[in-house]
Amino acid sequence: MNKKKGETHWIIPDGYIPPLSSGELTSHESICILNCNENDANIFISIYFEDRNPIERIPVIVQGKRSNHLRTSTLELDGDTIPFGVPYSIEVESDLPIIVQYSRLDSTQPGLALMSTMGYPLK
């Protein structure tokens, strides 16, 4: 039985890289991508902002039968990056079905918070 695992288009509407950290852990966000396919998945990530032009179609490859945890602070296209402390949204497009999860570690206070949620798949 060959069952499709994932979708090819995902949306994560709530992005925000906390600008401060306290303690030993650095505040960050990650897009967690699982590719259950035999072949590499060619992925494009677009970042949308409230008050500026988007960063569109950042290319990423996730190898077949692998996962990749991308810190959003490392995403870059032609020198454009996501600024800290600015709300943004994420669109993930893939040529193969993938699974997308999103996580945020907020260590701005000593009682840090970890949030994780599945992306919203578009069919």
| 3-state class (DSSP) for residue 97 | strand
CA–CA dist 18, 26 (Å, integer): 9
Residue with tokens 């497009």: 93
Q: Each residue of 109-119: pLDDT tens digit? A: 777 777 788 89
Over pLDDT 70: what percentage of the chain?
95
* Tokens found for residue 29: 């966000």
How far apart are alpha carbons 13 and 18 in whole angstroms? 16
Nearest CA to 119 among 4, 13, 28? Answer: 13
| Single pTM value for the model | 0.91
Reported as a single tens digit per residue, the pLDDT across 32-90 is 999 999 999 999 999 999 999 999 999 999 999 999 999 999 999 999 999 999 999 99
